[in-house]
Structure 1
Amino acid sequence: MTISSIPTSREQLWALLAEAAEIEHHLMCCYLYAAFSLKQEADAGLSSEDLPYVLRWRQEILGVAIEEMGHLAMVCNILSAIGAPAHLAHQNFPIAPGYHPAGVVVKLTPFNPSTLQHFIFLERPEDHDVADGAGFEPPQTYHRLTNMNRLMTVGTDYVTVGQLYAIIALGMTSLTEKLGEKVLFSGNPEHQLDEATGRLPGLKVVRCLATAQQALDAIVRQGEGAAASEERSHYQRFIAIQQEYESLVASRDDFQPAYAAAENPVMRIPPTPEGKVWVNCEPASSLIDLGNALYNHCLRCLSLAYSGVGRSTQALLVRTSIDLMKFLSPVASRLAQLPANLEYPGVTAGVSFATIRSSAALLGDVTSLGILAERLDEIAGRCERLGQNAAGQDDVLTATRDGVAHLATRLKAHVAGAAEHGAIAEGAEQLAPPVAGARSHAALASEGSPHTPVVSIAGGPPQPIPMSDGYERIPGPDIDLIYSGKRCIHARYCVTGLPGVFMANVVGPWINPAAASTEDLVTVAHMCPSGAIQYKRHDGGQNEQAPPVNILRVNENGPLALRAETWIDQVPAGMRLTLCRCGASANKPYCDGSHNTIKFRASGEPDSRPSDPLAARGGPLFIEPELNGPLNVTGNLEVCTGTGRTVDRVRTARLCRCGGSANKPFCDNSHRANGFRS
């Protein structure tokens, strides 16, 4: 690189970072497209013996794509740190010559030997001589203007993506010397995403030149690899897949691990059809429309997360964005199995990741969340109509409809909270209230009021009265006990503390509130860690109140015990809960004792992490179980060992529930590799 290729102004640095963001975004889409084209079950050209290889390749490529999303988020953090908005837009595929240097060819292609070689070429270290895949030759040779000492931004030539980041790093250093570090890095850090809110490992807030350089180093190291021997770099991971692929091809002439998905599918009649396939066959035409709608709305949510909203709103927007990408995956995989265009026999469709002109971030106020929810309702409605027109019930459309409708409900609940407590603009940390119609556990406990007289049989325990959600109310003279068998983890505080009330090993009714004082009953109920035992007083005394400090205790070889006013998926879940962390419970997210059956082993004494005291220690706690992933927690929470030592103090956290994290109780994304399902 030459001195003239180094940015000399903030404007030029913005432009290079925006190009880096688009490179990461383009690569992510290309990797996803190839992964979605891989078969997921035995088929013509893929035996059941070879299927595990292909499923592993799919997971590996998806993992690389997720890391590219992390790189994109890191670049957006740097942009935000130097005063620019996050850059999440990109050109539609295929990328026209001149948009990137001549040697960087970007187009959507299915998994095949040429595509795999192209991925290796794109991720190659600068000192490696690697050939590009066949069919990815640049359509023309050209050179970009590299003199950056101009007012308007210009592009620069670079051989590898790593070289682009080297130019950016030199530009940041030069501008820091020219402007001063505080002047260059003047953006508000609260506009950025971190590992907790962004749910991407290693994602850190950029505040200065050192943290910006660390982010760039992490991107290059994870992509190209600091050395050819770094096995988990993208370069080495693609080479490993290529070696396995070539070995299987050598032993089976008819080996076909992927569908013949279209090269550069498009939704509309292209004005320049060369190198593109117009997807006009049904149902593929409708599904590519749905897939692109999910993808664009994901970008909208993510853009708003960077716009200076409060932290709880930011975390909600990121969760919504990630969930939309999860809903996109089965839609895109289904597209790869459907005919694209009758003029191209044997060619199947694929999602085109087409972006729309109105993809810019919405304004950071409460109306934007309402607009996002409105769009989700539209997408859910379209899934409903497509499902009605399909021959039989389409499981992908049904799952997408239900999932998107849930996201809309979640956003509306947050809007209702903002309307009650104030705007969602920067610094507003109010959390959402219950969804309209949701009942608190106090209301649940009062079902059947006015107080029903005690009904006992031959002086024994009274008959329990069925309630909602599997609860039973056992009436007593001054206090009714509320019991849930599904929540019970058999901690045995009840049968050992008050054996005259909680009579083990009896047939029929086994709880008799009349056999102990109200104070003793309240004490034992509060000792129940799972919330299986609750109560409703009708003697004028105080019912259970939210604790002043929200505590999560990590039990040795067992569940996570939570004490807080908790809402799960915007539905009240009580003040005391035990949450599964072994991955085996049949009553997720609650523990059902399966950790004993599978002999789960996990320390109850994880290492403490540096943390500052929370400004507030109580208040409502919101848990959103991620599909096939961790528990996403928002609210004030102190994580403690089983013996009470503080592990961390958090406002947002991702808690492992697959049992596989090496960083328990926190998620390290092991669920992606171990096949956890929830």
Structure 2
Amino acid sequence: MDGAEDARRSRAILGTALRAPNGPTRRSLQRSWSNRASAPNLGPGREGNAEMMAVTREKIVHALYEAAELEHCLMCAYLYAMFSLRDGEGEGLNAEEAEAVANWRRAILGISVGEMSHLIAVWNITAALGAAPRFGRDNLPLAPGVLPANLVVRLAPFSDAVIQHFVYLERPEGAAEHDDPSFESAEVFSRHAPGVRLTPTGYQYRSVGEFYEEIAADLRRLTAQIGEEAVFCGDPRLQLTQAESKLPGATPVTNLESALAAIEHIVVEGEGAPRHRENSHYERFRQIRAEMRSLKAKNPSFSAAHPSAENPVLRRPPEPQGHVWLHDRDAIATVDLANATYALMMRLLAAAYGLPAGSDEKLLYVHSAVGLMQAMTPLAERAARLPAGPSFPGINAGMSFTAQRNAAALPSGPSARRFFAERIQELNAAATALDRKDPRCVTASNVLDALRSKLLAAFDADAKAVQTSA
């Protein structure tokens, strides 16, 4: 399959996945979760310490900000591995391998869309508590201690080690899975902070599921302390709903029941717990691992992915070790545009959370963000096929997902619309300057041009309506 067809397919799958209903309903998900014991899982070294039981809105919001960063970083890591996958027999695969890798691409894309759904669920819970959701994150790889030491997140191409790492990250509690040695942290950190603290600190947890168990327990305790109406005081219109996205996470959170259902959606889809689900992220990564081992047994030289860089960067980092500094001109231009496209996508999603549900502008921003994802995909795939530069022979580039210094929502109104209009035109101009012989460049340019026309037309119509009313 050629690059143009591959890019078209990726865009179609992504758009369908983000807009179509997917997975069980919130009503079915909440049954077992809401009936669980309300006692929190305090983690090692925290049992029986009454002083550590204090729970505040600030503490829960702090934890939700970490949850948003965690889901966001996992999504980027999964996408990076997917972008590195080879495509068809034209890229060195035999027929059986090509079919398997195409299936893996679809599976990882589905998992990444699931992480986006989890991220929206976390944002909605945060908004329900009266706080502004967190859209930013640290740049990858995460520095030691940002998350508990056994959770390592970095950008790496698809490989045996990477898939084992993904299995480990999504494992249910009690699963006999170990992280790949190449991802194990050399240091062990503890977040234990003795005594009562007004300043919130991170939870100490061993798995993603355990982390969400603690958030759920704290929500129950705060509700018992001050009442459900006081806890869930945020304006429900300032959330994403099914009117903007058909992802399961885009369901309003208005009370404890809906908050716990949102958390169970994350845990059940991600880990396959508290009950086994064949379609969980954990099980899908396990299936990919088993198929990869089978293909390698038949062909020891089988390589499913291009040799993309680990942790690529566009400028020399303060600590170069563990990064690949890109020097190839085409790779730099491609990664730069992919990163900028991703950044505008996040800005639009942040802006959508500042607008009331049902508004045309909110819907425009969410749909434009989906479109930017579809433009980003062929650019990221192209980057994985370009050389990193002469300093790194045999290593390809890769999208670095550079984070914005401040990803908070822009003040809504004409100034935000002007900002977005300027930015989409800048992205469109950069896309037209890329190699027009590469189908992936053409696809990205066409998508960005269509988004430019759509956004500018909507902004122009809005400006004319304001002038008329004045």
* TM-score bin (small chain): 0.7 to 0.9
Given the alignment of the two structures, is residue 331 of structure 1 paired with residue 375 of structure 2, yes or no? no
Structure 1 distance, partners of 2:325, 2:453, is: 35
Deviation, structure 1 residue 401: 2.4
Counterpart position of 1:354 = 402
- The one-letter code of the counterpart of 1:62 is L
Tell me what 2:412 maps to: 364
Moved more, 63-72 or 174-183: 174-183
Is 1:47 equivalent to 2:109 in the alignment? no
- Cα distance in 2 between the residues matched to 1:84 and 1:103: 29
* 2:277 corresponds to: 230
Q: Which runs of 5+ in 2 are unaligned?
A: 1-41
1:138 and 2:170 aligned: no
Q: Are the structure 2 counterparts of residues 153 and 71 from structure 1 closer, same or farther at C-alpha, using a change threshold of 3 Å?
A: same
Pick from 174, 177, 184 the counterpart of residue 224 of structure 2.
177
**405-414 or 264-273: which moved more?**
405-414
Matching residue within 64, 68, 71 for 1:17 = 64
Match of 2:448 in 1: 404
Q: 1:313 aligns with which of 361, 381, 404?
A: 361
Map 1:238-637 → 2, pairs under 5 A: 238-309=285-356, 311-384=359-432, 386-387=433-434, 390=435, 393-422=437-466
Closer/same/farther in 2, CA of residues 229 and 78 from structure 1, 3 Å limit: closer
After superposition, give the CA deviation of every residue in 1:243-287 in whole Å (9 maximum; x if it has no partner). 111000000111111111111111111110111101111210111
Q: In the alignment, is the contact (CA less than 8 A) between 2:121 and 2:249 conserved in 1?
A: no
Instruction: Measure, in 1, the Cα distance between the counterparts of 2:231 and 2:414.
Output: 31
Letter in 1 for 2:450: H
AA paired with 2:362?
Answer: Q
**CA distances 1:598-644 after superposition (whole Å, capped 9, x unpaired):** xxxxxxxxxxxxxxxxxxxxxxxxxxxxxxxxxxxxxxxxxxxxxxx
Structure-2 change in CA distance of 1:49 and 1:131 (3 Å)? same
The CA distance in 2 between the partners of 1:5 and 1:274, in whole Å, is 38
Q: Distance in 1 between matches of 2:276 and 2:247?
A: 25
The 3-state SS of whatever aligns with 2:273 is coil
The 3 A distance-change label for structure 1 pair 281 and 225 is same
**Counterpart mapping for 1:94-113 below 5 A:** 94-113=141-160
Find the counterpart in structure 2 of residue 580 from structure 1. Answer: none
Deviations 1:101-141 (A, max 9, x none): 01111101110000000000000011213110131011211
CA distance in 2, matches of 1:73, 1:104: 21
How far the C-alpha of 1:311 sits from its partner, in A, is: 2.4
* 1:214 match: 261
Please state how far the C-alpha of 1:7 moved relative to its aligned partner. 6.0
Q: Is the 8 A contact 1:5 1:156 kept in 2?
A: no
Question: Displacement, 1:342?
Answer: 1.6
Q: Which residue number corresponds to residue 597 of structure 1?
A: none
Q: CA RMSD in A?
A: 1.8
Between stretches 111-120 and 307-316, larger displacement belongs to: 307-316
- Supply the distance in 1 between the matched residues of 2:278 and 2:195 (Cα, whole angstroms): 37
1:398 deviation in Å?
2.8
Bigger Cα Rg:
1
- Structure with larger RCO (C-alpha < 8 A, sep 6+): 2
SS of the aligned residue for 1:198 comes to coil
Matches of 2:332 and 2:139, distance apart in 1: 17
Equivalent residue for 1:120, pick from 143, 151, 167 = 167
- 1:155 aligns with 202
Contact 2:121 2:262 in 1 (8 A): yes
Q: 1:189 aligns with which of 228, 236, 239?
A: 236
Aligned-partner SS, 2:89:
coil
Q: Do 1:5 and 1:167's aligned partners in 2 also have CA atoms closer than 8 Å?
A: no
SS of equivalent to 1:195: coil
Q: Is the 8 A contact 1:36 1:329 kept in 2?
A: yes
* Inter-partner Cα distance in structure 2 for 1:399 and 1:46: 24
**1:67 aligned onto 2:114:** yes
**What do residues 363-411 of structure 1 show as CA deviations (whole Å, max 9, x unaligned)?**
1213312211210000111122x23xx4x63333333223212212212
Runs of 4+ aligned residues of structure 1 deviating over 4 Å after TM superposition are 3-7
Q: Normalising by the residue count of structure 2, what TM-score does the alignment of the two structures yield? A: 0.86
Contact 1:146 1:157 in 2 (8 A): no
Q: Kindly indicate whether the alpha-carbon contact (under 8 Å) linking 1:44 and 1:256 is maintained by their aligned counterparts in 2.
A: no
Summarize the Cα distance change of 1:26–1:5 in structure 2 as closer, same or farther, 3 Å threshold: farther
- 1:395-447 CA-partner distances (Å, limit 9, x unpaired): 33333223212212212222233234459xxxxxx9xxxxxxxxxxxxxxxxx
Q: CA deviation at 1:179?
A: 1.9
2:329 aligns to what SS in structure 1?
coil
Partners in 2 of 1:229 and 1:74 — Cα distance? Answer: 21
Aligned to 1:486: none
Secondary structure class of the residue paired with 2:234:
coil
2: distance between equivalents of 1:218 and 1:183? 24
8 Å contact kept, 2:120–2:249: no
Partner Cα distance (2:314, 2:54) in 1: 38
SS of alignment partner, residue 206 of structure 2: coil
Query: Would you tell me which structure has more helix in proportion to its own residues?
Result: 2
Q: TM-score, normalised by structure 1?
A: 0.60
Structure (1/2) with the larger strand percentage:
1
CA contact (8 A) 2:134 2:408 kept: no
Q: How many residues align?
A: 420
Instruction: Report SS of the residue matched to 2:95.
Output: coil
Report how far residue 226 of structure 1 moved: 2.2
Describe the shift of the 1:393–1:5 C-alpha distance in structure 2 as closer, same or farther (beyond 3 A). farther
Equivalent in the alignment of 1:166? 213
CA–CA distance in 2 between the matches of 1:147 and 1:40?
A: 53
SS of equivalent to 1:331: helix
| Identity over aligned pairs, percent | 38
The match for 1:57 is 104
Partner residue in 1 for 2:252: 205
- Aligned residue type for 1:264: N
How far 1:200 sits from its partner (Å)?
1.4
